[in-house]
Structure 1
């Protein structure tokens, strides 16, 4: 079996006497979308924060293609191919949509900040940014300030920024939270497109069961910070233990 693209081994974090994530071990592979579910307070976002480096683990490991990233900063993990989108949008609000994406392309290319460089020298970066605009259907908003966009388009812009960084691992934390019924399908279509790339690994924290059914190849269930179940969607959804903890209630709410 090939080396996992991403793996956590006994990953744990304690806040005083509270264990928020407790010895969670899981391996993720390219071409697979894994939905991470569980009730409120189960440790889903904390688990994401441990993987992406926003939180330091109390014990355990995070490995990318077999390389131990556990002690690395979030920016270093990003350079190793860990891409993260958050529950709240994380944009440069005063910059235009195009400028936001161009900065991401510039960072990915290692161009850095060169304020004395003639703007004409950035043509290749602008062209690359425009391709991500087109892919996310934001071309018509290219020159709008990010702050002026409706929430749904801001979420699409965040996906565009993530795509512009060209990560191997995509991590989405409730990507449709707060979105209207009109905008949510656009973001889900983008995630579905990313999923078709056999070189990419996608992790999705989500509570909407219709979204999970449509996208997930696999479901991981967290409960009280521990790994309760891990398997194919049909198997997980049919598990009585899982239904008792989470899925039964969620299914009734979305029925």
Structure 2
């Protein structure tokens, strides 16, 4: 469904992502790991269109989308959640989701479109909020939500867009121990559907081990390992990349 070919970006003389070629199949969850500065978020930014590639290609269903801006990639089926939550802070929780539903149905982002004309959009939005356990907060502004609920609302926005590729950049970052399971359950449910591709940047290795079908490892912008979780974590190249040969598990848990 999704593929990068020799994907590269340079900032001056620094190569942040270095000729990364990787394909991601439908129905799979791939975890992208690596030490700080490895290029994980930058790789995400290249795929989703937040940064222009210096070289290489991004393909979705075989179509080259490398030069498309981020909004058009979203319309083609790429859904992205960020490390820092991206919401409409002064709108209500329900209005945030309703706008995403409206955009998916081709209604644009006109906040003042008469809601009563499309009660089906409202009902769909409420069903999504119930799924992420935010229906009881539907009238609250997004800005008033605690951090964990804002992360859940961002997942709700992604679900409302119904992308074919879900990209989660550290979805549990900053969440309390009690809040983490809700987001992980949502990702687990998406994976169980088998009709979408999921990419996950995550530094918590217990999460990676549980959810990932596959791990790819970036180091200094390059792809250095790719395979099933047990094999990748045990590989010599991964252990050497993390803390100079200290056990991979220790290094991976310390990475971001």
Q: TM-score, normalised by structure 1?
A: 0.95
CA contact (8 A) 1:89 1:155 kept: yes
1:127 equivalenced with 2:123 (yes/no):
yes
Q: Return closer, same or farther for 1:163/1:24 CA change in 2, 3 Å cut-off.
A: same
Query: Counterparts of 1:1-255 in structure 2 under 5 Å?
Result: 5-114=1-110, 117-246=113-242, 247-250=248-251
Distance 1:42 1:182 in 2: 29
Per-residue CA deviations over 1:30-71 (Å, capped at 9, x if unaligned) read 110000000000000000000000000001000000000000
Distance 2:240 2:23 in 1: 25
Measured after TM superposition, the shift of residue 248 of structure 1 is 3.8
Equivalent residue number for residue 245 of structure 2:
none
Task: Indicate conservation of the 8 Å contact 1:36/1:206, yes or no.
Answer: yes
CA shift, 1:237, in A, is 1.1
Deviations 1:108-165 (A, max 9, x none): 0001245665331021110110111111111111111111111000000000000000
Deviation at 1:217, TM superposition (A): 0.2
Unpaired runs of 5+ in structure 2? 243-247
Give the superposition deviation at 1:182: 0.8
Question: Stretches of 4+ moved more than 4 A in 1?
Answer: 113-117, 251-254
Report deviation, 1:253.
5.5
Q: Structure 2: how far apart are the matches of 1:36 and 1:201?
A: 13
Instruction: Note closer, same or farther for the CA distance 1:91–1:116 as it changes in structure 2 (3 Å cut).
Output: closer
Secondary structure (helix, strand or coil) at the match of 1:143 reads coil
CA distance in structure 1 between the partners assigned to 2:237 and 2:41 by the alignment: 22
For 2:142 and 2:58, how far apart are their aligned partners in 1? 33
